Amino acid sequence: MELDVTHMVEQADEMIELSGSQVEHGQNAGAYTWSTATYPATAGTAGKILRSDGTNQLSSTATFADTYAASTLLYSNGADTVAGLATCNGGVTNTSATGVPSCVQSPVLDGQAARKYSMARHTTANTAGNDLTVQSGGATSAATDKDGGPLVLAPGLSTGTGRNIVKIQAAEPATATGTGDNTLLDRLVINGYKALVNNTVTTITNMTLANNTVAAVQIHYAAQVFDGTDVQVEEGLIMCHVTNKAATIANNTCVKPATATQQAATAGTVTVTFTITAANPALVQVNVNSSLTPSAGYPKLTYNISNLTGQAMAANQ
């Protein structure tokens, strides 16, 4: 039996063959039609794929692997090679200082400028904002008497005489209904530090004092003196306030409860005095007066300040 190859080709609905760099893609009224786009005549380099340039089909410049692992994210490694990003359980995509991505469980922001993590505002009209919860890890489910992981909030590392503080902010609610944004204020400043000069008044924070308002702070502090041989220390609580009635500023007082203060000294005496000025801004000041001759860097004051009213506070570091 003779096989009629010519007849079989003529009866095919579709046949693919090359005509230069075009392909035959169908039959219309007995005649085959050719693609408008051209195709590569050779396979090209291993790992290339066909892609359109808007006119023709070309081999890609980028190369691809034969296979990628399950759940792999693809990225360009900068040399026209599409690589697979290694996965990690519970991780997020993070880039290095040069922009190279990786999957990490502890993402790090670059330190070249101030950065901020925040939650977007609610977009539903007339609706309060949502909670944002930061929570450390719990013990294994059904474990016996195992601790939960500590929640650690830490400022950036300082060097030498540089400071590092922690600030917690919150807004004071308005006294009347309204739609305007309330202003965030420093409510708690932790790890304040001030190098002092012996028996010299020094400002540690200032408080805005608008008309018909009050400013009030509480300060937990430790004042230390060292002269190369002996040491002195006083730690305690100080409470300060000041009032402004129609531009008349008064009642600028700082109180040091006796039961909330104590001292120790291996020699000599030390007196620690806090004051708040009758001014706008009101200055909270300290004077550490030691009978010793302090070494360089002493006296020094470390403190935490709580802002108890709706006035802006600026700690002088």
Helix, strand and coil content of the chain, in percent to the nearest 5, comes to 5, 40, 55
- Give me 115's structure tokens: 């950065």
With H, G, I as helix, E, B as strand and everything else as coil, classify residue 87. coil
Query: Which pLDDT does position 8 carry in this prediction?
Result: 47
User: Does any domain span residue 228?
Assistant: yes
User: Does any domain span residue 304?
Assistant: yes
pLDDT in tens, 124-146: 999 999 988 888 999 999 999 99
Query: Which pLDDT does position 20 carry in this prediction?
Result: 52
Q: Please name the residues in contact with 236: beta carbons below 8 A apart, sequence gap of 6 or more.
A: 220, 221, 256, 257, 260, 261, 262, 272
pLDDT in tens, 237-258: 999 999 999 999 999 999 999 8
Q: How many helices (H) and strands (E) does the chain have?
A: 1, 21
User: Does any domain span residue 172?
Assistant: yes
Rounded CA-CA distance 238/204 in Å is 13
Domain carrying residue 230: 166-315
65 contacts 47 by C-beta, under 8 angstroms: yes
- For the chain, the domain total comes to 1
CA 35 and chain centroid, separation: 55
Q: Quote the strand ranges of 201-299, DSSP E.
A: 202-207, 213-226, 231-245, 248-255, 261-265, 270-276, 282-290
Rounded CA-CA distance 178/182 in Å is 10
Closest C-alpha to 198, from 275, 288, 110: 288
Query: Which pLDDT does position 284 carry in this prediction?
Result: 97
Query: Which pLDDT does position 301 carry in this prediction?
Result: 97
User: Does any domain span residue 181?
Assistant: yes
Evaluate if residue 306 carries a pLDDT over 70: yes
> Cα dist. 148→105, 131, 136 in Å?
19, 22, 7
User: Does any domain span residue 131?
Assistant: no
> Cα dist. 259→65, 114, 238, 317 in Å?
73, 42, 11, 28
Residue type present at position 277: T
Rounded CA-CA distance 313/281 in Å is 9
Confidence of residue 48 (pLDDT cuts 50, 70, 90): confident
User: Does any domain span residue 58?
Assistant: no
With H, G, I as helix, E, B as strand and everything else as coil, classify residue 8. helix
Evaluate if residue 271 carries a pLDDT over 80: yes
Rounded CA-CA distance 207/172 in Å is 14
87 contacts 71 by C-beta, under 8 angstroms: yes
How confident is the model over 100-118, as a mean pLDDT? 83
Whole-structure pTM value = 0.75
pLDDT greater at residue 219 or residue 121: 219
pLDDT in tens, 53-92: 888 888 888 888 888 888 888 888 877 888 888 888 888 8
pLDDT in tens, 23-33: 766 666 666 77
User: Does any domain span residue 133?
Assistant: no
User: Does any domain span residue 160?
Assistant: no
Query: Which pLDDT does position 25 carry in this prediction?
Result: 64
- Torsion angles phi and psi, residue 150, rounded to 5: -65, 150
pLDDT in tens, 184-224: 899 999 999 999 999 999 999 999 999 999 999 999 999 99
Closest C-alpha to 309, from 159, 221, 207: 207
Q: Please name the residues in contact with 180: beta carbons below 8 A apart, sequence gap of 6 or more.
A: 174
Closest C-alpha to 191, from 233, 236, 221: 221
Give the angle 276-279-284 at the CA atoms, nearest 5°: 25
pLDDT greater at residue 157 or residue 223: 223
Residue type present at position 29: A
Confidence of residue 16 (pLDDT cuts 50, 70, 90): very low
Query: Which pLDDT does position 5 carry in this prediction?
Result: 45
Evaluate if residue 1 carries a pLDDT over 50: no
